Chains A and B, each alone.
Chain A
Amino acid sequence: MDVIGSVFASLFTWESLLFLNIGLAAGIMVGALPGLTSAIGVALLLPLTYGLDSVTGVLLLLGAYCGAVYGGSITAILIKTPGTPAAAATLLDGHTLAQKGHAGLALDSALKASTFGGVFSALLLLFVAPLLAKLALQFGPAEYFSLAVFGLTIISGISGKSLGKGLLMGIVGLLFTTVGVDRISGNARFTFGVNALWGGITMIPAMVGLFAVSELLVKMKAGREARSTAMQYQKESLSIKKFFSYSNTLVKSSLIGSFVGAVPGTGASIAAFMSYNEAKRCSKTPELFGTGHIDGIMAPESANNAVTGSAMIPLLTLGIPGDTVTAIMVGALMMQGIVPGPQLFVEQKHWVYSIMVGLLIVNIFMFLQGKLFIKAFVQVTRVSQQILIPILLVLCVIGAYAGNNTVVDIVIMVGFGIVGYFLRKFEFPLTPMVIALVLGPLAEENLRRALILSDGSFGTFIARPISALFLLIALFTIAWPFLKKYLEWRRAVKQA
């Protein structure tokens, strides 16, 4: 009981609440801007934590983390430019719904779903953290490979009208991930003597180019006519009753998000795509996905925010940072003299529970701040294209540069932007390429690691239960559309 009392005493100080909100506001802004990810937001705020006590400092960073993961959806919905890779899936239905004149509804759904996912995983962190941490350790190279293969099968589900074009984009995306110094052999591949390519084609500039720059080019070409078709915005919100009618999607997506988040080395974008695909697969109306379906917003948004809480699980229970954001948090904690790891739960119980409960509070404030930010951000739709496009292009350049401070990334962004423009013109779906860019390295590296461990035997992927399970699900995901058609056909035959 003492612990609970002191936890609340340390959380409800004006200092904690103030910095938590500063973190959130900065996070939402950074997240909404194309190319600036949660990792950059957290890194920018890192120096601020040096002067704070450890709980307040971590709350500031958690605020930025949750805010940025949510903030990406705002621009995805409003201007078809996902602020972060995690919001790339939200774009599919979010922007389409906005184009139909329901931007308000799309934004409100995204905010509510994000809050749901965040709270869900914060509770999970509070109650079952040690259990999930044990599961995360079971993931060896074979399991990571099978998980990535399953992730790649999602391409079949979201390729839109043409499966062939989708697969082609996926394969090209996978090829791009082979550029740069190979992590397993240490040799440079496909760099054509350009040393600047040793770092490879990184995810962020490629995604900003594909989605944002190509969209801006399309808008530029549309020129003045575009203004007349500018988006109509009206305030619309999703009633609580209506919101909970989506609880199936919400709970399932939050579970997927929490699971993916707890496995080190995965991330919010993978979770978002997985749950989008799952929601579509088990929906009674899968044909509505991509046309502005609320389920298609709820699923990725609840899943990507569910990652935030569970990403803290390996960090707090094992001392393992699962992604870049938590790695920066470890840095912040070490500076404070707190060493994350298994002994934290024993030695610093109070501290750990403050962080866990703090995460709940962060999510509640995220909801309130989100409401305010939506009001401010929708003004963007009123800005004329001639002003908006140059500003957004500058932001894209900054976003591409900020990740690794190199000009090469800007060149990559522009290149992908031009390619993306033509791909759009010929109606190639862009999302499969992004999925491939995210999952390619995970799949390739772990395939090779697993084969070193198994002395070259492919049996390891089937012999290990978790890995076999993922491969089965992958097979099922590929077979499902055909299976479904067959079942429908049989039903039709029976009725006839």
Chain B
Amino acid sequence: MKKLIATFLSTLLLATVAGCGSAGQPSSPPSPEATSSASTEQLEPSSESNAGGTGATDVNFPTRNVEIIVASAAGGGSDLLARALATELKFSQPVVVVNRTGAGGAIGTMDALTAKPDGHTILLGMVGPFETQPHLLDVQYNLDDFRYISALTYEPLFLVVKADAPWSSVQELKDAFASGSGNTLKFGSSSQGSVPHLAQEVLYKQLNISADHVPFDGANSAVVALLGGHIDALTAHLGEINNYVSSKELKILGVYSPERSELAPDIPTIKEQGYDIDISATKFIAVNSQVPDEIVEVIRSAVEEAKNSDSFKEFLKVNYSTPNDISEEDLKAQLKRESEMYRVVIEQLGLKNQ
């Protein structure tokens, strides 16, 4: 008898875990509506789910869970963005966020491409794996392999130093570390070849100062190193540093965008300070370019609807991101342009040594 109970218990255990495992990390517990509409879907296709779609009524999509691949770790900025979007995506099937980390996002991006191109796998696109990693690693994708369904955010970059540092402007930083002065600026970033890294390389080259890069393991550890005074400067997004700026432990010297950010209108641009630079990050939704057009349109309208929801807008505000509404063509052109810029920078720096 006891043996029977034990066997039962262990099978139960297995069943629970199997359940968790297959569900991955559901962005939200599947709501009752989602489940019920899923079960009645065969009878009345697109009863409510596709209502927002333009001419999409005859498309049978989605027929199973929709996966959003996030190419960075759970809990990070991209992951939160994907989850915030997922809770607002009104598909007739549950939306699941899957984290696939590694190689600066290149692994998750490749996975999104190797999945069946039926629209059930969509990618939270980040500039790193699209614009810089292809020049560092032999990735198995290029910009034409994807369709850029919708831009989500515009994320300006900020140049930051410790609040008690003797430099308060880009000019003063330049004077302190001018090449030949014998001082070398030690600057940090979230990782080697990341946009915050390359942005600084571009800037410091313009400033003609001698600078050494110290790559960290994520923006957080770089910020900790700056707080502890182990490095002199870093570049990051506002959400990663704003805490310490408001507690007066860090100060911002400038923003890399051509115009001041509405998130921090008091911060002067680097351009205002006399140096021509325009670097920022964008997050977007992408799918394999072989996904049929009508399915792309269904996804697009669902994403657009989610972007316009109050809770998503609120999320962006809390997380220091600006909504981005550029078109697919403009986004693709921007990615290509920036990718070319980074290719030149990476070649000049000799970062790729294979």
A and B physically associate = yes
Query: A341-355, CB under 8 A of B: which get 1 and which 0?
Result: 111000000000000
A321 sits at the interface (CB 8 A): yes
Kindly report which residue of chain B lies nearest to residue A39, judged by CB atoms: B74
B213 sits at the interface (CB 8 A): yes
A380 sits at the interface (CB 8 A): yes
A185 sits at the interface (CB 8 A): yes
Report whether A141 and B224 are in contact in the complex, using a CB–CB cutoff of 8 Å.
Answer: no
Please judge, given known A-B contacts A181-B137, A265-B217, whether A342 and B243 are in contact too, CB under 8 Å: yes
**Bound complex: CA of A265 vs CA of B218, how far in Å?**
11
Which stretch in A242-250, A358-366, A401-409 binds the other chain? A401-409
Kindly report which residue of chain B lies nearest to residue A41, judged by CB atoms: B20
Which stretch in A214-222, A279-287, A382-390 binds the other chain? A382-390
Q: Which of A183, A188, A198 contacts B191 (CB 8 A)?
A: A183
**Bound complex: CA of A185 vs CA of B217, how far in Å?**
12
Which stretch in A43-51, A113-121, A162-170, A430-438 binds the other chain? A43-51
Interfacial residues of chain B within 82-120, with CB under 8 A of chain A in the complex? 83-84, 87, 98-104, 106-107, 110-111
Q: How far is the CB of B71 from chain A (nearest CB, A)?
A: 11
Report whether A404 and B74 are in contact in the complex, using a CB–CB cutoff of 8 Å.
Answer: no
Query: A37-80, CB under 8 A of B: which get 1 and which 0?
Result: 00100011011101000000000000000000000000000000
**Bound complex: CA of A471 vs CA of B257, how far in Å?**
45
Question: Which residues of A lie under 8 Å from residue B11 when comparing CB positions?
Answer: 391
Question: Which residues of A lie under 8 Å from residue B246 when comparing CB positions?
Answer: 343
**Bound complex: CA of A137 vs CA of B18, how far in Å?**
41
Query: B336-354, CB under 8 A of A: which get 1 and which 0?
Result: 0000000000000001111
Please judge, given known A-B contacts A339-B243, A388-B10, whether A139 and B228 are in contact too, CB under 8 Å: yes
B26 sits at the interface (CB 8 A): yes
**Bound complex: CA of A100 vs CA of B99, how far in Å?**
43
Query: B24-40, CB under 8 A of A: which get 1 and which 0?
Result: 11111100000000000
Report whether B29 and A47 are in contact in the complex, using a CB–CB cutoff of 8 Å.
Answer: yes
Number of interface residues of A (CB under 8 A): 72
Report whether A445 and B80 are in contact in the complex, using a CB–CB cutoff of 8 Å.
Answer: no
A172 sits at the interface (CB 8 A): no
Which stretch in A2-10, A205-213, A294-302, A449-457 binds the other chain? A449-457
Report whether B73 and A29 are in contact in the complex, using a CB–CB cutoff of 8 Å.
Answer: no
Please judge, given known A-B contacts A43-B74, A44-B25, A445-B217, whether A186 and B193 are in contact too, CB under 8 Å: yes
Q: How far is the CB of B117 from chain A (nearest CB, A)?
A: 19
**Bound complex: CA of A186 vs CA of B13, how far in Å?**
41
**Bound complex: CA of A187 vs CA of B215, how far in Å?**
13
Q: Which of B14, B25, B216, B230 contacts A47 (CB 8 A)?
A: B25
Q: Which of A141, A398, A402 contacts B230 (CB 8 A)?
A: A141
Q: Which of A48, A180, A320, A327 contacts B73 (CB 8 A)?
A: A327
Interfacial residues of chain A within 376-434, with CB under 8 A of chain B in the complex? 376, 379-380, 382-384, 387-388, 391, 394-395, 398, 401-402, 404-406
Report whether B137 and A405 are in contact in the complex, using a CB–CB cutoff of 8 Å.
Answer: no
B319 sits at the interface (CB 8 A): yes
Q: Which of A328, A340, A387, A406 contacts B7 (CB 8 A)?
A: A387
Residue among A180, A200, A382 with max Cβ neighbours from chain B (10 Å): A382
**Bound complex: CA of A47 vs CA of B97, how far in Å?**
11
* Interchain residue pairs with CB less than 8 A apart (27): A29-B16, A43-B25, A47-B29, A180-B103, A181-B103, A182-B192, A183-B192, A186-B193, A187-B136, A195-B138, A195-B140, A265-B221, A319-B243, A320-B220, A331-B75, A334-B318, A343-B247, A382-B6, A383-B7, A394-B14, A402-B21, A404-B102, A405-B24, A405-B99, A406-B100, A406-B111, A452-B214
5 A-B pairs besides A183-B191, A452-B214 with CB distance below 8 A are A140-B228, A183-B192, A187-B136, A379-B6, A405-B99
Residues of chain B having any CB pair with chain A under 8 Å: 2-3, 5-7, 9-11, 13-14, 16-18, 20-21, 24-29, 73-76, 79-80, 83-84, 87, 98-104, 106-107, 110-111, 136-140, 184, 186, 191-193, 212-217, 220-221, 223-225, 227-228, 230-231, 243-244, 246-247, 249, 315, 318-319, 351-354
The 6 closest A-B pairs by CB, nearest first: A199-B102, A140-B230, A186-B192, A341-B243, A198-B103, A327-B75
